[in-house]
């Protein structure tokens, strides 16, 4: 079961940027949840964009399988969620709940950005994340993306740009 969880949780990673000791110079973490696939498609586009920046190792994990270690190693964070009942998904909330206390004082001001898939709104999901991010605290560094309804090429391109922008910011330390 643990093995299955590991396989399912870690969708992919880019292992290109290594420092002198083989330790990645900079890491970007994408944490997302998706029930019917829209947010996953967005997350994959974000990952594609981030991978254009070879100086950064980008990891992508499903929220239920992401944990404190992932967070502590990250220099930037991307959170992806569907809007569910006017809020972020329970799975993403669970990730934030689990990591909140143990991360206190260790990730203060971590740069973050959000991407959301919604049927026709998305504002409640965004508000819920922004409110919690204030308390962590995380620092918003890019405009959030809200996709309403079906995804199109233009939206996926925006997601790629978000990933590339976040990775560039992490690589050059501009956040």
Residues in contact with ligand FMN by CB under 6 A are 34-39, 82-86, 117-122
State the minimum distance, in angstroms, from the CB of residue 103 to ligand FMN. Answer: 25
Nearest to ligand FMN of 26, 47 (CB atom)? 47
Nearest to ligand FMN of 33, 59 (CB atom)? 33
Nearest to ligand FMN of 85, 101 (CB atom)? 85
CA atoms within 13 A on the CB side of 29: 25
State the minimum distance, in angstroms, from the CB of residue 159 to ligand FMN. Answer: 13
State the minimum distance, in angstroms, from the CB of residue 138 to ligand FMN. Answer: 22
Query: Which stretch of DSSP H or E encloses residue 18?
Result: none
C-alpha to C-alpha distances, 157 to 40, 47, 149, 153, nearest whole angstrom: 14, 11, 16, 6
Nearest to ligand FMN of 102, 119 (CB atom)? 119
Query: Which stretch of DSSP H or E encloses residue 148?
Result: strand 145-148
State the minimum distance, in angstroms, from the CB of residue 90 to ligand FMN. Answer: 9
Question: What is the distance between the terminal CA atoms of the chain, rounded to a whole angstrom?
Answer: 38
Q: How far apart are CA 117 and CA 65, in angstroms?
A: 20
DSSP assignment string, 76-121:
EEEEEEE-BTTB--HHHHHHHHHHHHHHTTTSTTEEEEEEEEESS-
| CA-CA-CA-CA dihedral for 30, 36, 123, 68, to nearest 10 | -30
State the minimum distance, in angstroms, from the CB of residue 154 to ligand FMN. Answer: 16
Nearest to ligand FMN of 99, 128 (CB atom)? 128
Residue 81's DSSP bridge partners are: 116
């Amino acid at each position: 079961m643990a093995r299955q969880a590991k396989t399912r949780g870690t969708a992919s990673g880019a292992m290109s940027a290594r420092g002198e000791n083989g330790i990645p110079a900079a890491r970007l973490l994408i944490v997302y949840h998706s029930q019917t696939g829209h947010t996953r498609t967005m997350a994959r586009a974000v990952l594609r964009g981030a991978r254009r920046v070879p100086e950064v190792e980008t990891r992508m994990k499903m929220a239920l399988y992401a944990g404190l270690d992932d967070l502590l190693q990250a220099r930037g964070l991307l959170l992806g969620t569907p809007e569910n009942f006017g809020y972020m998904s329970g799975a993403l909330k669970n990730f934030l709940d689990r990591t909140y206390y143990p991360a206190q004082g260790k990730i203060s001001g971590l740069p973050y950005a959000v991407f959301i898939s919604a049927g026709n709104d998305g504002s409640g999901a965004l508000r819920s994340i922004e409110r919690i991010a204030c308390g962590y605290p995380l620092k918003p560094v890019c405009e959030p993306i809200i996709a309403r309804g079906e995804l199109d090429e233009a939206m996926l391109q925006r997601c790629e740009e978000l990933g590339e922008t976040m990775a560039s910011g992490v690589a050059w330390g501009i956040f």
